[in-house]
Amino acid sequence: MKKTILTIVSILFVVSIAAADEDGGYAGAFLQLPVQARPAGMGGAYIGVSDDASGQLYNPAGAAGVVSRSLTSSYRAMKLDRSLGFISVLFPTKLESSLGFSWLFVGYGEIAERNSSGQDLGTTISSSEHNFGVSFAKQFVPYFMAGTKINYYYKKIGDLSANSVGINLGAMLLVDSLFEYGTMETKPITDIRVGLVVSHFAAKYPWSNESGGLSATQDDKFPLTIAAGFSARAINQKLLFAADIEKNSEQNPFVRVGGEYNLIEKLLLRTGLNNGVITAGMGYEVLFSNLRLTINYAFSDDRVDEGADHIIGFDLKF
């Protein structure tokens, strides 16, 4: 093929920019998009929550507090022939710890194939990206949990592919546990949690291509990301509210805020702002003997005139 890897990657980056933030377009940009319906409905503010299997994508430390085996899956329908999906499973283990496995994938659809001069060859190439993860979390003391997620990234553009390994580190402070037992139960705000995550240590795609005796190489680095989050409950724990702030080495900092309200026994309503984009969603719980199934839906408003996205998923505790 008479084209360089730089040309192909630049084409994909145009798609990535539309898929992520306005100043996005870097390696792993798709990881900024909430894919699980519960976090998405809350504006993506989940660093200080992360109390289920989907929390592996946000703060791996939160999984230490999960007491039931969990399976979660979701799918985000997007415009421009793109798709985003996620599945994970989480197992509580001994000594207040947990072990989880996850798979996040994105399809970018068909991209016009061009030569090194930028001319359209009249054919298309497909592109996809995957994030396979293994996470482990442990609660060391009543007020502190820590966790890590080992990521394997794989990206394919036509006949070219690249892979990488990256590490996420997370911590969670359970503020209520810093006080004497029972002290916080009578307070209007309870279950206060503060989370911190550093993501994408050492992650980069080493691209290389040879054509016509010429070669091109490029290391496509994942921006190192630092995020902090806060969550708490109020109104007899019926209301969960959360806020995150995130900054990476290539983008401006941005804020996510959101909430979840238990309207009636099994119905949960959610809303939020993801860096200025309005989100909303809901969840409905169904009980089957010792199984608890929550069906979740979320809506994310239009950002760049592409139309709104819809996310549907489920969370099964068994």
In three-state secondary structure terms, 95 is coil
Half-sphere exposure in the Cβ direction for 192 (13 Å, CA): 12
* 64/138 Cα distance (integer angstroms): 5
In three-state secondary structure terms, 102 is strand
pLDDT value at 310 more than 80 = yes
**For 24, which DSSP code?**
-
- The whole-number pLDDT of residue 10 equals 43
pLDDT value at 127 more than 90 = no
Domain with residue 74: its CATH number is: 2.40.160.60
Among 3-7, 202-206, 279-283, 305-309, which range has the highest average pLDDT? 279-283
The mean predicted confidence, pLDDT, of the chain is: 87
Residue type, 135: S
* 200/229 Cα distance (integer angstroms): 18
Residue 121's region, left for phi above 0, alpha for psi from -120 to 50, else beta, is alpha
* 11/14 Cα distance (integer angstroms): 5
**DSSP element (H, E) containing 290:** none
Q: What percent of the chain has pLDDT over 90?
A: 64
Confidence category of residue 17, pLDDT binned at 50, 70, 90:
very low
- The whole-number pLDDT of residue 159 equals 81
* 168/170 Cα distance (integer angstroms): 7
Query: Sign (positive/negative) of CA torsion 70, 280, 310, 266?
Result: positive
The residues, any chain, with a CB within 8 Å of residue 256's CB and separated by 6 or more, are 43, 44, 45, 243, 244, 245, 246, 272, 273, 274, 275
**DSSP element (H, E) containing 10:** helix 5-19
Q: How many structural domains comprise the chain?
A: 1
Summarize pLDDT for 231-280 with one digit per residue, the tens: 999 999 999 999 999 999 888 999 999 999 999 889 999 999 999 999 99
b/e sequence 223-240, b meaning 16+ C-beta within 10 Å? bbbebbbbbbbbeeeeeb
Measured from the Cβ of residue 306, the count of other Cβ atoms closer than 10 Å reads 13
Contact 287, 273 (CB under 8 A): no
Nearest CA to 37 out of 252, 226, 284 is that of 284
Summarize pLDDT for 177-224 with one digit per residue, the tens: 999 888 888 899 999 999 999 999 999 998 876 554 444 567 889 999
Nearest CA to 304 out of 43, 20, 82 is that of 20
Structure tokens, 154: 């794989």
Better-predicted residue by pLDDT, 22 or 143: 143
Contact 281, 300 (CB under 8 A): no
Summarize pLDDT for 56-101 with one digit per residue, the tens: 999 999 999 999 999 999 999 887 778 899 999 999 999 899 999 9
pLDDT value at 8 more than 50 = no
Q: Which domain holds residue 277?
A: 5-317
pLDDT value at 18 more than 50 = no
Contact 187, 180 (CB under 8 A): no
Structure tokens, 216: 């091109």
Confidence category of residue 306, pLDDT binned at 50, 70, 90:
low
pTM of the model as a whole: 0.85
Average pLDDT for 108-137: 84
Better-predicted residue by pLDDT, 101 or 17: 101
Confidence category of residue 6, pLDDT binned at 50, 70, 90:
very low
Average pLDDT for 292-299: 96
* 4/271 Cα distance (integer angstroms): 44
Nearest CA to 81 out of 111, 123, 109 is that of 109
Structure tokens, 81: 């022939």
One DSSP character per residue, 163-187 reads EEEEEEEEEEEEGGGGSPTTSGGGS
